Amino acid sequence: MKPRARKTWLALHVISSVGWLGVTLANLVLASAAFGAPHLYRAMALLGDLVVLPLALTALATGVVLGLGTRWGLLKHRWVLAKFALTLVAVAATTFSLRPELHAAARGVAGAGTSVLAASCVSLAIYVFSTAVSVFKPWGRTRRRA
C-alpha cells in the first residue's frame, strides 16, 4: 500500500476506533444516569443504531484493509490477531446483544438497564485494551506469518 493510502486508511481506522471508544464511554455515563432517568435509554438506543454500529463496522473494515495492505498483516503478529478477534467479538456483541438490549431498556423491560450498564463496562474494557495493544504491539509474530 502506498504511504498516502496507508495514512488515509490509518486515519479512518483511528477516528472510527476512538469514536467507538468515546461513544461507549458516553453510553456508560448515560447507562449510569438512566437508572434515575429511564428516558435516557431512548438516546442510547439512537446512539447504538446511528453511531455505535457504523463506527464498529468502519473500525472493523479499516482494520482489515490495514492488516491486509501493510507489513503488519492480518495474521502475522499476535497483537494484530488479538485486536482483530476482539473487534469481531465486539461487533457481533454490539449487533446481536447490545443494540437489542438498548431497545429493550428504552421500552422499559425490567433488567435491561443492568445489562446495558454491564455491556458498556465490558465494551469499554475491550476498547481500552485494544488501544493499548495498538500502542505497545506486544507478543511478537505468529507461527503462521500469513
Domain of residue 43 covers 3-136
Q: Is 58 among the domain residues?
A: yes
For the chain, the domain total comes to: 1
CA distance 105 to 115: 9
73 occurs within a structural domain: yes
Angle between helices 112-136 and 40-47 (to 10 degrees): 40
CA distance 78 to 30: 34
Burial 72-85 (b: 16+ CB within 10 A, else e): ebbbbbbbbbebbe
Supply angle C-alpha 130, 83, 2, rounded to 5: 105
pLDDT tens-digit readout, 69-115? 999 999 999 999 999 999 999 999 999 999 999 999 999 999 999 99
Residue 28: inside a domain: yes
In angstroms, rounded to a whole number, what is the distance separating the alpha carbons of residues 93 and 96? Answer: 5
Query: How far is it, in rounded angstroms, from Cα 7 to Cα 54?
Result: 21
pTM: 0.92
Cα dihedral across residues 79, 81, 129, 29: positive or negative: positive
Cα angle: 45, vertex 47, 49; to 5 degrees:
70
Over residues 11-32, the mean pLDDT reads 97
Is 61 part of a structural domain of the chain? yes
Mean per-residue pLDDT, 8-14: 98
Assess if residue 141 is contained within a domain.
no
Confidence of residue 145 (pLDDT cuts 50, 70, 90): low
